[in-house]
Amino acid sequence: MTATVPLAAWLSANRAAPVAIRHGKIISQQQLRQDVQTLCCWLSLRQELRWALCFEQSYDFLVALLATLHSGKVPVIPGHLRPALLNEQRASFDAVLSDIPLALEVFCQQLPLAVQQSDGKLPVIMPDATLILFTSGSTGAPREVVKPVACLDEEIRWLSQAWGERLRNLTVISSVSHQHLYGLTFRIMLPMALGLTFHSDQIAFSEQLSALARARRYLLVSSPAFLRRLDSQLSAPPCALVVSAGGELCAGDAALAADWLGVAIDEIYGSSETGIIATRRSDGRNVLWQPFAPVRFSPAPDGRWRVQSPLIASADGMLLDDRLHFDGEGFSLAGRYDRIVKIEDKRVSLSDVERRLMTLPGVHDAAVLVLKREGRSVVGAVLVIDPSAAGEFNGLRWRQALRPWLEPVAIPRYWRTVDAIPLNSQSKRDWHQLEELFNAAR
């Protein structure tokens, strides 16, 4: 595979392929450069430093990302487009760029801008440029992750070395958002660094995959939640490479997806904090994870594992929340240590769900746990409510109240009310008893 192009040189590199396909329209590098120049010129006249990027379209996101970096600003990627949470996080950014109307308490500029006069020159992106993403911490509060652009470039070099010729001439399509590191890396960074074309629209349904033009060969960037819902009755798109991350793809779902798509699934293990850590090819067998060559693991005193990587700023590396089992040839995953869980491949902080429930009228205490229903993980909530509000108990009303704050998969689907949250002999919550509250009523 040809050498990767670092982000700072994307607009000056020679490209044979178009940059993007947006609503069926081909977008050239010349158009990209013009759009970036227009926004960069406008940003240079603004005093705000940290700009939150909130976009539905990946091409518009790319324009904003490059324009903020070239103008010396700091891109902030909140991970969502929900106004209520953006207003809550407003201390983390000074203003917002978006392609949709947003009712926010900070200045918001909607793109595209009218074309402005420019001298055709773009300021260089500094070698120490960074961007800011967010991830959930163990307390449930959104936590900033400062990511150097140089680390993003390094990730792409690893992927290019690992996949080589398999990436040549592919068109990138995605069912995951660019508003998270996984989507940013694979949906934006990878095609731009390798001169590949990407689809600006996000794939939401199997029907969209089936309708793709057969003249192209595709790299599908996806997740276990999407792959397990594929409709095998439809005709499959010509995918040469399928990537899955955000959660572990079980062997059965991997086998069905690989059978329909005609190619084994390349899974990626990592996080916003660590970047990519390991990969494996899944076709239905229980395959071990293989770390990327520069990644190292060391045991921690409490039985956990610490990972060291050039993608992690700290020389001490980072303590992992996942339980890893090594067997000499690789490792397997065996659950998590903290209260951050994966539901439909999205990180859900059970602590944050409890915190939101405690803000609802009449709720005195709340405990949240993950339940298994028909092979899927869902959230159950146990509440202690004020007696005066008992007659107004309405799970539907509470779900509606939570929607501005939580991802749909994080909103409880099952509810129970108790006089007090059950505790064990150590005065800690008795999760076995809490789970039995749901099992007894099935």
Dist. CA 52–CA 105, nearest whole Å: 13
> What confidence score (pLDDT) does residue 137 get?
43
Domain ranges, residue 347:
341-439
Amino acid letter at 289? Answer: W
- Is the four-CA dihedral 197, 200, 202, 206 of positive or negative sign? negative
**Residue given tokens 């070395």 in the structure block:** 161
> What confidence score (pLDDT) does residue 424 get?
61
Q: Over the chain, what HEC string results?
A: CCCCCCHHHCCCCCCCCCCEEECCEEECHHHHHHHHHHHHHHHCCCCCCEEEEECCCHHHHHHHHHHHHHCCCEEEECCCCCHHHHHHCHHHCCEEEECCCCCCCCEEEECCCCCCCCCCCCCCCCCCCEEEEEEECCCCCEEEEEEEHHHHHHHHHHHHHHHHHHHCCCEEEECCCCCCHHHHHHHHHHHHHHCCEEECCCCCCHHHHHCCCCCCCEEEEECHHHHCCCCCCCCCCCEEEEEECCCCCCHHHHHHHHHHHCCCEEEEEEECCCEEEEEEEECCCCCCEEECCCCEEEECCCCCEEEECCCCCCCCCEECCEEEEECCCCEEEEEECCCEEEECCEEEEHHHHHHHHCCCCCEEEEEEEEEEECCEEEEEEEEEECHHHHHHCCHHHHHHHHCCCCCHHHCCCEEEECCCCCECCCCCECHHHHHHHHHCCC
CATH number for 369:
3.30.300.30
The count of other CB atoms within 10 Å of the CB of residue 184 is 27
Amino acid letter at 244? Answer: S
Strands 296-299 vs 74-77: parallel, antiparallel or unpaired = unpaired
Dist. CA 114–CA 229, nearest whole Å: 41
Assigned domain for 374 exists: yes
Dist. CA 266–CA 23, nearest whole Å: 28
C-alpha distances (whole Å) from 186 to each of 163, 182, 299 are: 13, 6, 30
Give me the number of domains the chain comprises.
1
Assigned domain for 278 exists: no
Assigned domain for 352 exists: yes
> What confidence score (pLDDT) does residue 86 get?
92
> What confidence score (pLDDT) does residue 442 get?
57
> What confidence score (pLDDT) does residue 391 get?
67
pTM for the structure as a whole: 0.84
> What confidence score (pLDDT) does residue 138 get?
39
Assigned domain for 435 exists: yes
Assigned domain for 377 exists: yes
> What confidence score (pLDDT) does residue 428 get?
63
Assigned domain for 368 exists: yes
> Per the structure block, which two tokens stand in for 246?
């955000």
Query: In this predicted model, what pLDDT tens digit does every residue of 424-439 receive, in sequence order?
Result: 644 567 888 898 999 8
Q: Which residues contact 254 (CB under 8 A, 6 or more apart)?
A: 227, 264, 265, 282, 283, 284
Beta bridge partners of 306: 298, 319
How big is the chain by its Cα radius of gyration, in Å?
23
Assigned domain for 421 exists: yes
Q: Which value, to the nearest 10 degrees, does the dihedral of the CA atoms of residues 35, 40, 45, 49 take?
A: 130
217 closest CA partner among 196, 236, 240, 235: 240
Per the CB < 8 A criterion, the answer to whether 136 and 142 are in contact is yes
> What confidence score (pLDDT) does residue 336 get?
74
Per the CB < 8 A criterion, the answer to whether 162 and 301 are in contact is no
Low-confidence ranges of the chain (pLDDT < 50): 137-140, 425-426
> What confidence score (pLDDT) does residue 283 get?
84
Assigned domain for 206 exists: no
